[in-house]
Amino acid sequence: MTAVGEYELRGVHVAFPFEPYPSQLVFMDRVIEALQAPHRNALLESPTGTGKTLCLLCASLAWRQMHKAQRQVDQLGLAPVTAQGAAMLKQLAAGAGGREREWLGGRAVAPEAPAQFGMAPAVACRIIYVSRTHGQLSQVVRELRNTTYRPNVSILGSRQQYCVHHDVKKVPGGQRQNAQCQKLVATQSCQFHRNVVDHKYQHKEVLTDALDIEDLVKHGEKHKVCPYYLTRDTANDADVIFMPYNYLTDPASRKSLAHLWKDSVVIFDEAHNMESICSEAASFDLTHTDIAMCVTEVDRCTSIKESGIEFTTTEPATQEELSILKIILRSFEDALAALPLKGSPASATFPGCKIYELFETAGVKHDNATELFAMVSKTMSMLAEAQGAGIQANPSLKKFSDALEAVFKASDMANCNRLYKMHITEEPERKGKRAGPQSITDLQPTLTLKPGQKPRQIGYWCFSAGVTMKEILDQGVRNVVLASGTLSPMSSWATEMQMNFEVKLENKHVIREDQLLAAVVRKGPSGVTLNSSYKNRENVQSVDDLGNLIVNVCRIVPANSGVLVFFPSYAALTAGTERWKQGSVWDRISKQKQIFIEPRESGSFKMTICAYTDEVDRAGSNGAVLMAVCRGKMSEGIDFADRHGRAVIVTGIPFPAAFDPRVVLKKAFMDELMPEARAEGREAVSGEQWYIQQAARAVNQAIGRVIRHRNDYGVILLCDERFANWTKQAKFLKKSNVLVHWCCKFIVY
């Protein structure tokens, strides 16, 4: 790397593989600013196409190398302000692009050599790089290869991603696959696992070559070694560890990797959903049917015990423990059925600590919850080892176990009433068969309700993402960086996450004004006002004219190009498409471009994406139009670059369901939190502001599909008169900061 590719930011030499845009230098500067002080956290937004991931990697790795050098200088007793100390730091920074080396007296030595000179090897902060999916993490690893940095790397994944055992990888369902793997490992029957020992020393490329999941699977198949256990071994020596969100947010996963967190820098990429992810991690929903299915699974274990099956890898629950567990489950079922409900549909909301009374009615208290958890774990292990008999892949006991984990956390008990609510309602009717593989014995739940009584559902909901984030910070992490292309509106993050962000950035875009047209469209081609609000949902004239607008856009957008149409909800998508099929709109759209619709079923998602992109790419094609939903998978992280997303149409404002109990309670919680936020110096966000911001973030995600790199171009059409309040009124915009600020300067009316 020549001097042209090296940039000094806050005293740190950053090697960058290309000439950076000014906005990239600003972004890297903010990353380094945050990392230069312990417990200084950052909230960084940079639009898609601005090289956010590359900037995160280069800035954090450059800082880490300087931080490591500083520790070595300190070990030698040299002040960095002295000529010798400054020279050592500068020399290390100048070589920032290469393999990490230890430095002594201006010359490079092997990492193990410092001990020969009376100094211990310097230990630098580990970087934990977290993203939503394994696919996104593989993209990040590929970005790392574009840099000159070569840290030791480990990328953690599940057995489903990594298993190379020809029998185990064919087992359906994560729970069953895990059990089969653990059984082979415990009995030393898996040659791939046996070969993990010392493999990283014999094949250093698994640490040094930034291999992604696909590369590691190929390596495992070639060398007959298990990538799943290998990556957990290499994580202990890694400078950078890549992992999906749940490894940090899920309590059990976080505990299993507890040795990795202390003094680490945690970077959450694609962090726009962190508030909901953290809240969900501390919540659960459980139905009467789930509890009854737990009883059925316990009965199945009793039958297994009586059959004399020998367990080779687990300590099975005793008959007494199974009997106790069944009594507790039935008692919990009865206690749930006894709670008074009101209204239609019947429901009731209680303070969070009511959950402890419910469990205590079933005989579960703080002092015996651990014992109950052990009983459930043993029973689940029995089911898992007996999976060859056809036990379903994801037992309901796992849901009950997760509920116990969520309720009996010591960290939550003091603030339970403030941060949680318990909501009881009637259990919704199940459509179709129970999901998941069934047992050959056709396990079915048996409810013990009184005649005429409907089964119920309990929701134990956490309304503060700060509960999970505090648990992460309590692991001793050094810094937290939240980064995304669409964090706006920024105002509520500190309040929602219950933490301070000392460094904030809303970055500029790198595109020119002639690369994007963004417009608020208040009326359709026939002059009908466009408004998708709940009150206007029956206005067929508005729906028809929205369809006419889509026809016109599809006519204007060139052949072999794609149009993305985002609806505020699946209900709006269904209502709109059904209306258009009744008239001429659907056929008129189809004549311009082939239509694809985002499926509700996740199993059909990939097929729909492939069909859409294939149609856009097909020679002689007029292109395609993809009708999708804000907050759906199509609006989250899918790369519709260039011709695949020339135009984005947002057909309405995707507010959360106003009367959903969880939304109502969340708004009330945010209102209650305002005095506390003001007292702590955080920006107070009311329930109504939170409600608007949730819709805004969903819109920001959708419009982020159109520009994917610096040379991309396209059109954004906000087709609802209400968008004018978000974009045209400067006073309102400054106050509420609704849409991503980079988009606002492109908007015309």
**What average pLDDT does the structure give for the chain?**
85
Phi, psi dihedrals of residue 130, rounded to the nearest 5°: -115, 135
Non-local (6+) Cβ contacts of 700 within 8 A are 272, 486, 488, 739, 740, 743
CA distances from 516 to 250, 509, 625, 689 (A): 40, 11, 19, 29
Least confident of 299-308, 313-322, 440-449, 714-723: 440-449
Least confident of 129-138, 610-619, 646-655, 726-735: 726-735
- Convert the pLDDT of each residue in 316-341 to its tens digit: 889 999 999 999 999 999 999 999 99
Mean pLDDT on 125-136: 90
pLDDT of residue 390: 45
Instruction: Give the amino acid at 37.
Output: A
pLDDT of residue 78: 61
Q: Quick one: pLDDT band at residue 130, thresholds 50, 70, 90?
A: very high
Q: What angle do CA 500, 251, 177 make, to 5 degrees?
A: 140
Of all residues in the chain, the percent with pLDDT exceeding 90 is 58
Helix H or strand E segment including 253: helix 251-256
pLDDT of residue 725: 77
Whether the pLDDT of residue 61 is over 90: the answer is yes
| Token pair 């059409």: residue | 717
Residue 670 and residue 237: Cα distance in Å, rounded?
A: 42
Phi, psi dihedrals of residue 579, rounded to the nearest 5°: -65, -45
Q: Quick one: pLDDT band at residue 382, thresholds 50, 70, 90?
A: confident
- Convert the pLDDT of each residue in 558-597 to its tens digit: 999 999 999 999 999 999 999 999 999 999 999 999 999 9
pLDDT of residue 285: 95
Give the 3-state secondary structure of residue 639: coil
If one counts every other C-beta atom within 10 angstroms of the C-beta of residue 358, the result is 20
pLDDT of residue 106: 36
Which carries the bigger pLDDT value, residue 82 or residue 494?
494
CA nearest 684: which of 426, 503, 493, 502? 493
- Convert the pLDDT of each residue in 534-566 to its tens digit: 888 889 999 999 999 999 999 999 999 999 999
DSSP secondary structure code for residue 44 in this structure? E
pLDDT of residue 92: 52
- Convert the pLDDT of each residue in 336-381 to its tens digit: 999 999 998 899 999 999 999 999 999 999 889 999 999 998 898 8
pLDDT of residue 194: 95
pLDDT of residue 727: 57
pLDDT of residue 429: 77
Which carries the bigger pLDDT value, residue 76 or residue 523?
523
Give the 3-state secondary structure of residue 181: helix
- Convert the pLDDT of each residue in 140-175 to its tens digit: 999 999 999 999 999 999 998 999 999 998 887 677
pLDDT of residue 442: 44
Which carries the bigger pLDDT value, residue 415 or residue 596?
596
Whether the pLDDT of residue 733 is over 50: the answer is no
Residue 651 and residue 579: Cα distance in Å, rounded?
A: 15
- Convert the pLDDT of each residue in 198-239 to its tens digit: 899 999 999 999 999 999 999 999 999 999 999 999 999 999
CA nearest 738: which of 704, 698, 709? 698
Q: What angle do CA 77, 83, 84 make, to 5 degrees?
A: 50
Least confident of 257-271, 286-300, 653-667, 683-697: 683-697
pLDDT of residue 601: 83
Beta bridge partners of 109: 102
Phi, psi dihedrals of residue 688, rounded to the nearest 5°: -70, -40
CB 524 within 8 Å of CB 530 = yes
Tokens matching residue 124: 């630098």
